[in-house]
């Protein structure tokens, strides 16, 4: 009897031993369909570190990695550009993209557009209550963005074309995810960002392709059109956040609603951009001067209604007002450049690129980085210096060329930018890598 039992139990023990051996090689988990699936140790060895990596706070929302990386890019690329202008380094590439176009691209799209898209993807989670891009998806998209940066520095036209393809992929995924969020939530107020970002994507890609295939003049025109489109984006976002933040954060602020200006400004701005863009391709009987000046004046009127003087004691607010002031003045001066030779279009444009785009971005990322990580909206005191430096750099970059001191204008504008955004990196990198409080 005992022998019979032994024979019966023996295979059972062997089975248990075999199962023990199997559990050393395999683990189980529920699949997305609810079924049990087997995972090998090899797969787990690969997935475990990746899972830990993607769960780090830096991959929680797009603003974290993109604010850091895009800001660092602006500091590095602008330093390279100034050294190139002074003959300290050789041209960035022998074939394909020219140094000027590389400089414009990295500052306008590598920096500016990346920050803008990162902000919109972050804000969309608040608008829609839908989880925004995060984790592995965000890590992969950031990797694509980094690959573009390196490939654009290549001497190979084929690798630069690959960079353009990856840049297009970055845009399509970013816009697609934003569209998914706002459309699913039926957030109609935010539908406008989809065509606006799509237009910027097309300008970005056409800008690079035009230069690679030898038409640098067209590339420069497309970049200037993109800057004007960026001004439209600043007008839309600024029109929402500046009066809201001012009303809540500035003591005694008398902020007035501007419904007529809010509706009129996008129309006038789009007309101005359209005329400017079309003027390169067809002969028009008029210039965009009147439309640009009108848009600038409307921006200044709207700023007046937001009671900017009430924000003088609050750096996070006066910096926003100052950057918006630069937009209004910049558009007026761009229009004036068509009427007088004293003002160069390119110099007036830098009042917008440094003062508006740089200033608005610095003010917004300083605030968003604190707010979305659960910290008090009190930036380090050195950020007050950073805000002032950006404004100073914008004024110097515009005014010094008028005084026949263009080189000083370039140097001061660049140095102000590098110091200002380096201060941001110094104080905010640990915050953006840390968990929400």
Q: What is the pLDDT of residues 3-31, one digit of tens each?
A: 544 444 444 444 444 444 444 444 554 44
Residue 203 has pLDDT above 90, yes or no: yes
Rounded average pLDDT over 132-146: 96
Distance CA 117, CA 176 (A): 11
- Give the lowest-confidence range in 12-16, 43-47, 184-188: 12-16
pLDDT at position 42: 56
**CB-based contact 253:247 (threshold 8 Å):** yes
Residue 382 has pLDDT above 60, yes or no: yes
Chain position carrying tokens 């979305």: 372
- Using DSSP, state whether 385 is helix, strand or coil: helix
Residue 264 has a CB neighbour count (10 Å cut-off) of 15
Beta bridge partners of 36: 30
Q: What is the pLDDT of residues 298-322, one digit of tens each?
A: 999 999 999 999 999 999 999 999 9
The chain-wide mean pLDDT, for the chain, equals 89
- Contacts for 391 with CB less than 8 Å, ≥ 6 apart: 319, 322, 323, 326, 355, 359
Distance CA 74, CA 13 (A): 66
Q: Which of 162, 159, 158, 152 is nearest to 92 (CA)?
A: 152
- Using DSSP, state whether 380 is helix, strand or coil: coil
Distance CA 172, CA 386 (A): 33
Task: Retrieve residue 87's tokens.
Answer: 């003959």
- Give the lowest-confidence range in 86-100, 156-170, 257-271: 86-100
Count of alpha carbons within 13 angstroms of residue 233, beta-carbon side: 28
Distance CA 393, CA 7 (A): 89
Q: What is the pTM of this model?
A: 0.87
Q: Interior CA angle at 111 toward 390 and 88, to 5°?
A: 75
Query: Given 3-state DSSP classes, what are the helix, strand and coil percentages for the chain, each rounded to the nearest 5?
Result: 75, 0, 20
Q: Kindly list the distances between the CA atom of residue 309 and the CA atoms of 241, 250, 364, 393, 395, in Å, as whole numbers in the listed order.
A: 17, 9, 19, 22, 20
- Give the lowest-confidence range in 45-49, 195-199, 308-312, 352-356: 45-49
Q: Which alpha helices (DSSP H) does 86-215 contain, by range?
A: 99-105, 114-128, 135-152, 157-184, 193-212
Q: Kindly list the distances between the CA atom of residue 355 and the CA atoms of 157, 329, 336, 397, in Å, as whole numbers in the listed order.
A: 34, 10, 18, 10
Distance CA 139, CA 403 (A): 47
38 pLDDT band (50/70/90 cuts)? low
The distance of Cα 258 from the centroid of its chain, to the nearest Å, equals: 27
Distance CA 356, CA 385 (A): 17
pLDDT at position 46: 52
pLDDT at position 437: 83
Percent share of the chain, pLDDT over 90: 81
pLDDT at position 20: 44
Burial of 348 (0-12, 13-18, 19+ CB in 10 A): buried
**CB-based contact 394:370 (threshold 8 Å):** no
């Amino acid at each position: 009897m005992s022998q019979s039992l032994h024979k019966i139990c023996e295979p059972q023990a062997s089975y248990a031993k075999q199962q023990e051996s199997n559990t050393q090689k395999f683990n189980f988990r529920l699949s997305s369909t609810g079924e049990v699936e087997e995972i090998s140790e090899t797969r787990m060895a690969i997935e475990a570190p990746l899972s830990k990596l993607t769960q780090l706070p830096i991959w929680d929302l797009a603003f974290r990695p993109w604010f850091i990386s895009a800001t660092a890019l602006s500091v590095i690329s602008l330093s390279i550009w100034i050294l190139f202008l002074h003959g300290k380094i050789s041209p960035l590439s022998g074939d394909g993209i020219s140094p000027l176009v590389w400089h414009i691209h990295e500052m306008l799209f590598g920096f500016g557009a990346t920050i803008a898209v990162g902000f919109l993807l972050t804000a969309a989670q608040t608008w829609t209550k839908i989880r925004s891009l995060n984790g592995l998806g965000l890590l992969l998209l950031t990797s694509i963005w980094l690959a573009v940066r390196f490939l654009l520095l290549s001497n190979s036209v084929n690798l630069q074309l690959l960079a353009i393809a990856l840049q297009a992929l970055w845009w399509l995924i970013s816009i697609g995810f934003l569209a998914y969020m706002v459309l699913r939530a039926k957030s109609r107020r935010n539908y406008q960002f989809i065509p606006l970002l799509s237009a910027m994507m097309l300008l970005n890609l056409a800008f690079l392709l035009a230069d690679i295939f030898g038409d640098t003049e067209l590339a420069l025109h497309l970049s200037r059109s993109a800057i004007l489109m960026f001004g439209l984006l600043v007008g839309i976002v600024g029109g929402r956040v500046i009066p809201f933040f001012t009303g809540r954060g500035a003591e005694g602020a008398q902020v007035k609603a501007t419904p007529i200006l809010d509706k009129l400004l996008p129309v006038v701005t789009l007309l101005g951009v359209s005329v400017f863009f079309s003027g390169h391709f067809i002969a028009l009987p008029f210039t965009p001067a009147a439309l640009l000046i009108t848009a600038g004046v409307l921006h200044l009127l709207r700023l007046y209604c937001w009671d900017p003087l009430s924000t003088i004691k609050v750096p996070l607010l006066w910096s926003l007002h100052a950057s918006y002031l630069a937009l209004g003045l910049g558009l007026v001066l761009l229009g004036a450049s068509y009427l007088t030779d004293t003002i160069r279009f390119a110099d007036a444009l830098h009042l917008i690129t440094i003062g508006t785009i740089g200033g608005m971005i610095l003010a917004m990322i300083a605030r968003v980085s604190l707010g979305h990580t659960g910290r008090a909206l009190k930036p380090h005191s050195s950020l007050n210096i950073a805000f002032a430096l950006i404004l100073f750099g914008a004024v110097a970059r515009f005014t010094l060329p008028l005084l026949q001191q263009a080189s000083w204008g370039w140097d001061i504008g660049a140095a102000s930018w590098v110091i200002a955004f380096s201060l941001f990196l110094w104080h905010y990198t640990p915050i953006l890598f840390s968990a929400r409080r």
